[in-house]
Structure 1
């Protein structure tokens, strides 16, 4: 199976309407790095801002700059990426007892995505593991996990309003 097709299928399995937005693709830039990944995150945020369902919660919202997104990101160890990705797709940010997807299905899909990007992939989140805070990318609750193998990328962002 081609990596891109597998990433797209795996990420689609983690998506839920109005809550978990995903993207997967192949970079077109030569030697992409964190700014190119942040640009893809910014595009996903723009997609959410354009979603009619979120416009009333995000009036006047414009996604942060690529530089601001880079500054908000913290690394995630590869060995923790599967569980983190499954959690972004399943556990509601506001009501943690509510699951958006069955946990076992999300774990399988997340495992496929992490496996396709491989053991040398880099993973990033907007969570600060040191203090437990979230560097919000939107004015509402959000949780992001982004990974890249230097050629492909996978993004999952859950958004919620209280």
Structure 2
């Protein structure tokens, strides 16, 4: 993939971000042949960004992001064909108040579809949701929902955080 694709990934993910609610990241791996631990390290970095955000700091006293092995253990695979809809939901629909939208549905779906297409059909996708039982493996003491995608060179992350 070219640098242009990385710029497009970053732009697409940036369009899915919402101040104080939906945090995103997109980048290029520096490790050769990255796998789940390298993706988990990027997730940990994004969690550190949330922790440093003044809006959430008071809700997270003493919190430090989980270790890379703990993050790996909390992740469940998502089928590629489900990734765009899942990403649009993480970015667009509030975790606590399901009737509230952070982004218009059409915009979230369009940007999510583009990001998933840019990573391609060989990408692997991960979430902290257990689809079998509906549980969420929380990465923070608050409500959170994560979708992370990667292919051999690039990654994207979307994390929504909420408190009731």
**TM more than 0.5:** yes
3-state SS of 1:159 partner? strand
If the length of structure 1 is used for normalisation, what is the TM-score? 0.99
> How much does 1:150 deviate?
1.5
- 2:9 alignment partner, one of 7, 21, 40: 7
Distance 1:3 1:41 in 2: 21
Does residue 155 of structure 2 align to residue 153 of structure 1?
A: yes
Secondary structure at 2:72 match in 1: helix
Moved over 4 A (4+): none
Matches within 5 A, 1:94-105: 94-105=96-107
Superposed CA offset, 1:26-48 (max 9, x none): 00011100000000000000000
In the alignment, the residues of structure 1 paired with residue 79 and residue 8 of structure 2 have an alpha-carbon distance, to the nearest angstrom, of: 22
What is the rounded CA distance, in whole Å, between the counterparts of 1:137 and 1:3 in structure 2? 29
**Residue 36 in structure 1 maps to residue 69 in structure 2:** no
1:73 aligns with 2:75: yes
Alpha-carbon displacement from aligned partner over 1:130-151 (angstroms, at most 9, x marks no partner): 1000000000000000000111
The match for 2:133 is 131
- How many residues align? The count is 162
2:116 aligned partner: 114
Unaligned runs of 5+ in 2: none
Matched, 1:84 2:61: no
Distance in 1, Cα, partners of 2:102 & 2:53: 19
Query: Which residue does 2:61 correspond to in 1?
Result: 59
- Determine the C-alpha separation between the residues in 1 that align with 2:7 and 2:89: 23
Q: CA deviation at 1:3?
A: 1.4
